[in-house]
Amino acid sequence: MSTLLADWRHPLLHRRVWALAAPMILSNLSVPLVTLVDSAIAGHLPQARQLAAVAMGGAFYTALLGILAFLRMGTTGFAAQASGRRDGAALRQILLQAGLLGLGLSLVLLLMASLALEPLLAWLGLDPAFAELAARFLHLRLLGLPAALLSYALIGWLLGTQDARTPLVLLLTTNALNLLLVTAFVLGLGAGVQGIALASVLAEWSGMLLGLGLVLRRLRLWPGRIDRQALRQLASWRPLLAVNRDIFIRSLALQAVFLLFAAQGAQLGETTVAVNALLLNGLLVTAFALDGLAHAVEALAGHALGAREGATLRRVLVIAGGWSLLASLVFAVAFALGGDLFVALQSDIAAVRQEAHAYLPYLALLPLIAMVSYLLDGLFIGATRAREMRNSMLLALLLALPLGGLLRGLGNHGLWLAFLTFMALRGLISALLAWRLARREGWLDDHASA
């Protein structure tokens, strides 16, 4: 206990944690505003079909970016460790590799979309006129995918070098420009659904180019040269590809959990679907704060590992863990006391409000249960140990699935109990894997105290 208190009483490290966490929290908050603004503008178009096309296309694009977020996470850990070693050559190498990987992925996905998008919409059995409008929106919207993935690489690299302010500037600039362009194109020029898509594409490319310029300027702080011969060797790509592969599998598993949650809830009626969607927005709000602290752990833990500073790594985990616990308690109390108000702000349907009240205790418990997995994901990413993060997710899913089946008789209560159990298992398994790794190998390979 005395060691924990000594680690907590480290004001400089507290400032370093919040210097990274606060901008990332604000950055996270800015991301959903793009979809919100697009939907609000589309809601003033003359046809409901136009709003539906924007909503559907926006949801598809957001889900795609969520799955591809491994590029940001995979880049952060390698960049953090290279910055800890003061290795300018490695920083250049990871930046170029992440950028090329993002560009390659985006080109493959654009090719797939050009071939499969229309057949997919036809297979869904959508109204032909709506399907055509949605396809036009998505084809144009996907032109921003290369910029979005390159921005992921840039943001991951910047966070790895302990710069969270520049990503905040990039995201705020991109979102502000999107707001201005979508207003001008749709309300000013009458460009309709295609104007909304074009505004987002131009904003994403502008933000990426701004970020590239800022990153190149920041590279001057890290002298070094790229090993061009290594870039042509598969061995130099394997670590990055392996980490991104594992994070990708982990992200797919997490998306599967939310898909199963939604599908199971749909069998319980429309009101239950609405209730669960509103309550899960509470998890989204909580994630803004806890993910910000996890991002700080990614950068600081990776830096400590690169610099081989075991004591700093331990202090980072204690301080970020303490703040995560405090934030989770605040959210838990807020949802317990103000959960009805949180639901009422999102819906004025009496049946939804009434049914949601019965499930508020689950929402109050969720931040406390989810906290551990968020924090340890940050540690695994910073240590570029994505395999452990992947395994904890898959094991938690495999263990929680049978429980979900056993609790089906309890209706939505059973569904929420299974979901909370999954989140608890995810955190517990992550903690066990981290402990076993520290005991077996040591986080610094030489069994330094961490």
Cβ count within 10 A of residue 399: 15
Query: Counting beta carbons within 10 angstroms of the beta carbon of residue 196, is it exposed (0 to 12), middle (13 to 18) or buried (19 or more)?
Result: buried
Mean pLDDT of the chain: 84
Query: Counting beta carbons within 10 angstroms of the beta carbon of residue 36, is it exposed (0 to 12), middle (13 to 18) or buried (19 or more)?
Result: exposed
What's the start-to-end Cα distance of the chain, in Å? 15
* 258 in the same domain as 399: yes
Mean pLDDT of 37-66: 69
59: CB partners within 8 A, 6+ apart: 35
Domain assignment present for 15 = no
Residue 390 has pLDDT above 70, yes or no: yes
Residue 260 has pLDDT above 70, yes or no: yes
- Domain count across the chain: 2
* 449 in the same domain as 305: yes
Residue 445 has pLDDT above 60, yes or no: no
* Residue that finishes a domain, picked among 179, 209, 232: 232
Domain assignment present for 12 = no
For residue 77, what are the CA distances in angstroms to 74, 230, 312, 382, 438? 6, 20, 16, 4, 18
Mean pLDDT of 421-427: 95
CA distance 162 to 432: 28
Domain assignment present for 390 = yes
pLDDT attached to residue 44: 61
- Lowest mean pLDDT of 60-64, 238-242, 317-321, 346-350, name the range: 346-350
Residue by residue, DSSP assigns 179-207 as HHHHIIIIIIT--HHHHHHHHHHHHHHHH
Residue 450 has pLDDT above 50, yes or no: no
Residue 160 has pLDDT above 70, yes or no: yes
pLDDT attached to residue 432: 93
* 223 in the same domain as 360: no
Mean pLDDT of 408-418: 90
Note whether 166 and 211 are within 8 A (CB).
yes
For 169-209, how does the pLDDT look when each residue is reduced to its tens digit (9 = 90+)?
888 888 889 888 888 887 777 777 788 888 889 999 999 99
3 state DSSP class of 80: helix
* 287 in the same domain as 165: no
Kindly state the DSSP code that residue 45 receives in the 8-state scheme.
Answer: S
pLDDT attached to residue 49: 62
Note whether 335 and 342 are within 8 A (CB).
yes
- Lowest mean pLDDT of 92-101, 378-387, 437-446, name the range: 437-446
- Lowest mean pLDDT of 237-251, 257-271, 382-396, name the range: 257-271
Alpha helices of 43-164 — where are they, by DSSP H?
48-67, 70-84, 88-123, 128-141, 145-160
For residue 6, what are the CA distances in angstroms to 56, 158, 311, 378? 51, 30, 11, 22
pLDDT attached to residue 274: 77
pLDDT attached to residue 182: 84
Share of the chain above pLDDT 90, in %: 32
Mean pLDDT of 109-122: 80
pLDDT attached to residue 443: 65
- The letter for the amino acid at 392 is S
Query: Counting beta carbons within 10 angstroms of the beta carbon of residue 373, is it exposed (0 to 12), middle (13 to 18) or buried (19 or more)?
Result: buried
Domain assignment present for 61 = yes
Mean pLDDT of 341-370: 85
3-state helix, strand, coil in the chain (%, to 5): 85, 0, 15
Cα R_g (the chain), whole angstroms: 22
* 309 in the same domain as 370: yes
- The domain containing residue 35 runs over which residues? 21-232
Mean pLDDT of 273-290: 82
Residue 10 has pLDDT above 90, yes or no: no
pLDDT attached to residue 429: 96
pLDDT attached to residue 266: 74
